[in-house]
Every structure is written in C-alpha cells, then in structure tokens.
Amino acid sequence: MSELKKWFELPIGCTNIEPGSSLNNITAGWRVFTPVIDEKKCTKCYLCWAFCPENAIKIADDGFPKTDYRYCKGCGICSNECPAKAITMIRQEV
Amino acid sequence: MAQRMALSTNYAIAYAVKNCDVDVIAAYPITPQTTVVERLSEFVANGELDAEYIPVESEHSALSAVIGASAAGARVFTATASQGLALMHEVLFMASGMRLPIVMSIANRTLSMPLNIHNDHQDMMSSRDCGWIQIYISSAQEAHDTVIQAYRLAERLDILLPVCVCYDGYVLSHTYEPVEVRDKQKVLEYTPRVERPHVLDPDKPITMGVMALPNYTYEFKYQVVDALKRVPKALEEVDAEFADKFGVKYGLYEEYMCSDADVIMIALGAIASTARLAIDNLRSKGFRIGLFRPRLYRPIPVELWKSVLRKAKMLAIVDRAIAFGGCGGPLFSDVATMFINDSERPLMINFIAGIGGRDVTVRDLEQMGLMAFKSLEEGLKEQCIYFGVRGVDYGL
Amino acid sequence: MIMDYSMSTVKDLPREEYFASGHRLCQGCPEAIIARLVTKVLGPNLIVVTPTGCLEVSTSVYPETAWKIPWIHVAFENAAAVASGVEAAIRALQRKGLKYKGRKIHVVAIAGDGGTADIGLQALSGALERGHDFVYICMDNEAYMNTGIQRSGATPLKAWTTTTPVGSKWRGKLQLKKDIPAIAAAHGIPYVAVASISHLKDFAYKVKKAAEIDGPAYIHVQAPCPTGWRFDSSKTIEVARLGVLTGMWVLYEIERGVFKVTVPVPQRRPVEDYLMLQGRFRHLTKEEIEEVQRYVDEQVEKVNKRAGYTAIGPVVRL
C-alpha cells in the first residue's frame, strides 16, 4: 500500500494530469498467442498498424511494422487482416 | 454605477449574474425559478451580457452542460428548483467531485407528490450532502450580493467547489424589494478571473472525471471533505472583502436577541424574517427568546453555531422539510448531532412547518415559541411536532 | 494536423498517436480502433467527451489514462450535454479573447449505443436541435457490454443478449433495432454518416468532414464486440466487413439532406455469412435466417431507392 498516493498528493477534482500514463500498464500478460511478422512476406501496407486496437504496432525506420510486445494483447486482428499472410500467431511459451 | 431598482429576488439574481460577466448559462424552465433565466436570456439577447445561453432540454442537461463549460474554463451559471434539482441529483455529486466552481441559484420548492409549486426546503434538503456549498438567504438584496460572493468563493483556488444560493420560492423569488444593483466594474474587481489548475486545454491535456477503484476513490472524496472544511473561514474573508468594497456584511449566520435567550429559535431563509416579529412579540410578553438564522448551511460551521446556541436552555428548530422516517427534520438532526457528545446541552424541540407553501405566520411562530417554553417547564412530551397539520393534536 | 481528404491508403493516416497503449479494453476491441482513429484524424486540437461505458472505464482508471488529448467524462446519459457546454465555453471564451485563441478546437463526443440510443437520447436530441458545433460519434456494439451484454435499443432482431435469452418463448431480441442515424438526421443537422472500422479510409474521411462542417454532425460506426457478440478476437474487422458486404451495415452519408452511399456493394453476400460468425446468432434456424434476409432485402431496397441507383446489389452466393 505504501506506493499509493495520499489524498493531498492526488491531482484535484478526479483528474489525471499525466496524459498517456496507461503506458505504465503493461498488458503483455493478457496474451496467449503472439503475432510474428515475416518481413519477407510483408508488403508494408500498414493495415496491421492501422487496425491494431492496442496501438502496439509501430512503423520502424526500415519501414517494417514492428510489434511492441509490452502492449500486444494477442487479439490476432493483425494476422487475420494481413493481405500478404505475413503474420503468424504463435502460442506463447509460459 | 450602482443602481437602486425594485427587483424580485429572481431578478436580483439575474442582475448579479450579468455583472459577474458569466460566459455560459444553461438552464431549463421550472417554477418558481424561471424568471431568473428569462431575464438572463434577455440580457444575452440584447447584448448586455456577452455569454452563451444554452436552452437545454432538461435540468440534468443544464447541470451537465455547465459542468462541461466550467471544465473548459468558463464562468458558468444555472438555476433550478424542486423537481429540477431532483433530476440533477446525480450530477450534483459530479460537479463537486470534479471541483468545478459552478454557481446555481435554487428557488426552493417542495417535491411531488402531490405536485405543488410552492415553497418548502424539501428539494435542497434531499440534496444537502452533495459536496456543494449551500447558502440560504432571506432578502433580494442578500441574494444579489450572495451570488457575487459565490463566484469569489467558488473560484478561490483553495476552495474550487460549486455553490448554491437557496431562497424560498415565491415568498422571496417573486417578492419585489428595493435592491442596490452593484456597480459592474466594482463587481469585476471583486471577482477577478482566475487560472484554475485543471481545465480542458489542448496545450496541457488532462483527463477529467476519471474512474477510480477502491484504492483511490476515498482519497478523491476526502479532497472534497477537506475543501469544505476551509469554506467557513474563506466565506468570512470573502464577506469581509465584500464589506470593504460594497459596505455590506452578512456573516455566516444571523443572530437576533440570542445573548440572554432561554429559547433560541433556529430557522432558514424567509421564515427567519417572519420570526423576528414573533420574537419581538414574545419578548414584549417577557419571554426570553432569540432567533438564529444560519446563512452558510453546508458546510456547517459547527463551533460557530455552538458558540451561540449552547447558552440557551431550549432550541426550537423549525424545519421546512420532512425527513420521512427519520429522527426529525434535517436541520434538527444537524443541530442535535453537533451537541451529541456534550454533557451539558440545550433541550431541543423540532417543528416541521410551512410544507408545500403553507403560510407560517407570526402567530404560528409565537405559538411554536410558547410550546418550546412549555416543554422547557413541563418536560418534553414530543420531540418532533408536525406543526399545523389538520387532524394532529399534540395537546400542547 | 488534419489529414488530407485525398488519402488513398491507410498509409496516409496521420502517424501521430493520441490514444496510448496500456488501456484495459478487451482483446480485439473495436472501440480502441475507433478512439485511436478519431484522435489521430482530429488531434491534437481536440476535446473528447465520453459517457460512462466500456471506453470510459477502460481508459481512465486512476492513476492511468490512455488519453493524450483533453478528455472528460461526467455521466452515462449526458455526453451530448457536456459536449454542448464545452463547445459553448470555447465559443464564449474565444469571443471574449480569454482562452483557446486563434484556432479551431474540435469537440467530439464518443459514446456507446446505450449512451446514445437509450439513456442519452434526450441529451443528444437536445444538443443536435440546438445546433452546437460538435461531432457525436456512436460506437454501436448493439448492447450494454460494460455491464455484461444486456440488450439496448440498438440490439438487432433475434440477437441473444443476457436480457434477451434464447428460451422456449423468446428467441433472442423480439424487436427491431432502433434506427439512430435516421433519428439524428430527422433533426435536420448538416451531416449524418454511418461508418465501419473495416473501411478506415471512409471512416476517417467522415470524421474529418463531420468535424469541419459547421454545426452538429453525427457518425454512427459499427463496433463488433468479440466479447458480447461471441466471436474470436481476431475477427473484429472481418465481422465489420461482412456487415458491410451483406448489406446489413450500409455505409452512407447525408450531407445537408443529400443522401449518398459512400461504399457501394455491387454484389451482396447472404446474411448468414455475417450471422454465423457470431455466437449471439448461433440459435437461429434456417427459417429465421431467411426472415432476417428478407428484412435486410427490404432495407436494401429502401436504400437503393433513396440513392437513386442500385448502390447495394443483389445477393450472390459464392
């Protein structure tokens, strides 16, 4: 309990003054299947990036989409929607 | 320039809101509040007030819209009564929880059923513990001045709470009195714009109205408790500044002949004005009785009240609302609670009166005073008296 | 930055992100896709109002927030009223020179179907009638998902929910879906559109257009819910696409009274392709599916009549 803030340490009026602080919530633990992108097949259409509900696919400097596995929940939309069938869902090793 | 005008309390409030230069008004018509916002819409329509007037489709939306506007940094106003306040009920807690300096006037009216447009305090009493600052006034001038004070108080950075200014429907709302409309320039000097720490701003994006789990909810709510604790002193300061600027001081309560009183009558709002005459009459017959009219009712400045009330032998508490199935009226319960741990305390008798606009006359109040004295001498037979209900006889 | 109308592929969507990872929406949640897209297209000069619901509870649990633009939640039924207040405040403060100087701030309410079609309909109607310059986006997942899949006015005919169970007397919802875009359009507002997350370019174009039009705009976007509709989380976009391809979810816009189908479907897929992907329709018999097909056929006919051509073609079985 010690890390929880005291009442006078909270921002006023039920606000959160740290925009985007959900990044502190790592959601990798939700994942059962993990998407793996085969860059040989990827055509860089970026549909996976556009559809990702987790905002967990980033376009890297080389132009390929990369999954941020800290936030990927393994929903599988990227794999299902990839026109080039470049994304495979692999069962996560525990 | 200050102007002396014959105004009803509703109009006196509208003039105060205009001179505070509010930015957004959202309101829905409800008797007996309606003429407040009618007059405000005229001010906006003819350019006397540069504001957005949102003619919402319900009171729920009225308060919701001013919450949105206040969250966006605007100075806002709304007004309501009775069922309108009841419809706002859930939103009241959101306004205080979000610490938004909203000012709302409430022309107190009873709640259905039966439907009745006349005055009692049932509406506000059913929403009294919602984190709002509640000030009960007893004249049109006081209403005008209190609205101006309300902005100063609500927007203080150590307070940031919504304020409602309560006044009896019809009895005050529609009664004309000579009112000094304060000079706009002086009003604006008295209520300068403040930069609040939490507003919707793309340059400093924040999330407002968060969800919290059991681990944080209590701490957010305690912030409201803490801010309310600061209110009595803040209102005294605000009142003193008002006196410096405008020469009138209201205090947190009004006392009349209390210093040597055996019985002190306690009443909110308009009844208190009538009660002065009853006090005078009873005093002339040798009864040592006084009157205590709370102005700031939420938060209750407990020690201040007790400093006046503890000297009496009997408190006669007049409630203009029913707490169905409770231990007495809401005001009675509050006063009783503040003395509960004192070994020496006054006896207390509760009169429920003036329900649904039933007249409470000087004679009625004299009778209540006499009943209080009788109970003091002969012992308390009834703690809570539903005064004046046909068919009920307490044998007093 | 607002993207260009001429966006040819999703690659042209703005790269800026204003909806952060780490939110607590379910796997495959369409609301996250919608929130991400809307904030992308309209951010950063954007204020979002969200009523109580999945999106709200999953993005704002203190001490975390997924929002990187100013965001406000007040209650369940009042998003449109709160947005009215925000919009009026911006208008007043800009006019008085007190705040928000020299730029357009978009005010967008993003609500679910319960907060729109049912409990929030009054506030929405009031705000549309008053003509506030704001965008109201309804993410329609066709039930109260946040409380656990109860029927709403937007639940379609025959769908199973926890309050429209399949029993000996009931077989899912007994009533038709409430046509909320039509209700919005009946207010005579300048822009109404129906969108789908399967057609992101079309959706982005509608969001941008809605925001740029002066006055109220309403966008109704389908939000296929893996949890409530009972399909695999990878199928969210596929279900949405089949909604469009079966003619059950027609993508159109009504701009100043002019109706236009923005994504014509020359050949329609049979409704069972859409229904059978979802557990909430698993109880349907062949006859019941045919009944749904007949209903959709009637609706499509009305759409085509209104469009003035066969925007949505006949059913072709593959």
Which residue in A4, A5, A12 is closest to B99 by CB distance? A12
Which pLDDT belongs to residue C181? Answer: 98
Angle at A59 (CA atoms; ends A53, A62), nearest 5 degrees: 160
Residue C314 resides in a domain: no
* pLDDT at residue A61 tops 60: yes
Closest CA–CA distance from residue C267 to any residue of chain B (Å): 44
Residue A1 has pLDDT above 90, yes or no: no
Taking only the tens place, the pLDDT of each residue in B46-87 is 999 999 999 999 999 999 999 999 999 999 999 999 999 999
pLDDT in tens, C116-149: 999 999 999 999 999 999 999 999 999 999 999 9
- Point out which residues pair with B104 in neighbouring strands: B78, B164
Residue B114 CA: distances (Å) to CA of B342, B351, B356: 40, 21, 9
Mean pLDDT, range A15-20, rounded to an integer: 98
> How does pLDDT run across B147-189, given as a tens digit for each residue?
999 999 999 999 999 999 999 999 999 999 999 999 999 999 9
Asked if the Cβ–Cβ distance from B209 to A14 is below 8 Å, we say yes
Among the listed residues B263, B294, A33, B377, the one whose alpha carbon sits nearest the alpha carbon of residue C27: A33
The answer to whether residue A51 neighbours chain C at the CB level (below 8 Å) is yes
Instruction: Test C74 with B91 for CB contact under 8 angstroms.
Output: yes
The Cα–Cα gap between A76 and B254 comes to 70
Whose CA is closest to A70, among A19, A34, A16?
Answer: A34
In this prediction, residue A94 carries a pLDDT of: 59
Q: Which residues from chain A sit within 8 angstroms of residue C19, using beta carbons?
A: 55
Number of H helices, E strands in chain C: 10, 8
Q: Is there a contact between A80 and C30 if contact means CB atoms under 8 Å apart?
A: no
| Structure confidence at residue B324 (pLDDT) | 96
Interval C240-247 mean pLDDT: 98
Domain spans, chain B: 3-246, 253-386
Rg (CA), chain C: 19
pLDDT tens readout for residues C75-101: 999 999 999 999 999 999 999 999 999
How far apart are the C-alpha atoms of B217 and A7, rounded to whole Å? Answer: 10
> Listing from the earlier edge strand, what are the strands of the sheet with B289-294?
B253-256, B289-294, B263-266, B314-319, B347-352, B384-386
- Residue of B205, B218, B220 lying closest to A19 (CB–CB): B205
Among candidates C27, C30, C234 on the partner chain, residue whose Cβ is nearest the Cβ of A80: C234
Q: What is the pLDDT of residue A77?
A: 98
Q: Among candidates C156, C148, C164, which has minimal Cα distance to C57?
A: C148
Average pLDDT over residues C9-32: 96
B3-246: CATH topology is: Rossmann fold (3.40.50)
- Could you tell me if B316 and B266 are in contact, meaning their C-beta atoms sit under 8 angstroms apart? yes
CA distance B265 to B366: 10
Q: In this complex, how many residue pairs, one in chain A and one in chain B, have their CB atoms less than 8 Å apart?
A: 56
Contacts of B98 in chain A (CB under 8 A): 13-15
Read off the pLDDT of residues B209-253 as tens digits, 9 standing for 90 and up. 999 999 999 999 999 999 999 999 999 999 999 999 999 999 999
Whether B223 sits inside 8 A of A13 (CB atoms) is yes
Q: Which of C7, C8, C12, C21 to mutate to test the interface with A (most CBs of A within 10 A)?
A: C21
Antiparallel, parallel or unpaired: β B133-136 and B296-298: antiparallel
Residues with Cβ < 8 Å from C237, sequence gap 6 or more?
A51, A77, A80, A81, C197, C198
Point out the residue among C72, C85, C96 whose CB comes nearest to the CB of B54: C85
pLDDT value at B355 more than 70: yes
For residues C35-58, average pLDDT: 98
Q: How far is CA B296 from CA A6, B150, B214, B239, C247, in A?
A: 29, 11, 32, 12, 62
Dist CA B358 CA B138 (whole Å): 18
Average pLDDT over chain C, rounded to whole?
96
Number of independent structural domains in chain C: 1
How high is the pLDDT of residue C9?
84
Query: For the domain bounded by B253-386, which CATH number is listed?
Result: 3.40.50.920
DSSP β-ladder status, B176-181 and B3-8 = antiparallel
Q: Are strands C252-255 and C191-196 parallel, antiparallel or unpaired?
A: antiparallel
Q: What is the CATH number of the domain that holds C278?
A: 3.40.50.970
Residues of C in contact with B70 (CB under 8 A): 85, 89
CB contact under 8 A, A10 and B223: yes
Residues of chain B positioned with their CB less than 8 A from the CB of C91: 52
Confidence band (pLDDT; 50, 70, 90) for B33? very high
Q: Tell me the pairing of strands B207-208 and A15-16.
A: antiparallel
Indicate whether C312 belongs to any domain.
no
Confirm whether C168 is domain-assigned.
Answer: yes
Phi, psi of C140 (to 5 degrees): -95, 100
Contact B274, B362 (CB under 8 A): yes
C317: confidence class by pLDDT, cuts 50, 70, 90: confident
Confidence label for B394 from pLDDT (cuts 50, 70 and 90): confident
**pLDDT-derived band at B396, boundaries 50, 70, 90:** low
Give domain status of residue C5, yes or no: no
Specify the pLDDT at position A2. 55
Mean pLDDT of the B263-277 span: 96
pLDDT at B256: 98
The answer to whether the Cβ–Cβ distance between B207 and A8 falls below 8 Å is no
Nearest 5°: the CA angle B363, B367, B369 is: 115
Distance from CA of C185 to the nearest CA of A (A): 29
Topology given in CATH for the domain delimited by A26-91: Alpha-Beta Plaits (3.30.70)
Where would I find the H helices in chain C?
A: 30-42, 54-59, 79-95, 121-130, 180-185, 200-212, 226-229, 236-245, 271-275, 286-307
Candidates C27, C58, C68, C241: best to mutate against A (most CBs of A within 10 A) is C27
> How does residue C184 score in pLDDT terms, banded at 50, 70 and 90?
very high
Exposed, middle or buried by CB within 10 Å (0-12, 13-18, 19+), for B385?
buried
Q: What is the pLDDT of residue C4?
A: 46
Dihedral-angle region of residue B375 (phi above 0 means left; psi in -120 to 50 means alpha; beta otherwise): alpha
Q: Which domain holds residue C140?
A: 10-307
Sorted by where each begins, the domain ranges of chain A are 26-91
Q: Where does the pLDDT of residue C3 fall: very low under 50, low under 70, confident under 90, or very high at 90 and above?
A: very low
Cβ–Cβ gap B91/C75 under 8 Å? yes
Output the pLDDT for position A52: 98
Hey, of A4, A55, A61, which one would you mutate to test binding to chain C, going by the most C CBs within 10 A of its CB? A55
Measuring CA to CA, which residue among B204, B57, B277, B207 is closest to residue C62?
B207
C240 touches chain A (CB under 8 A): no
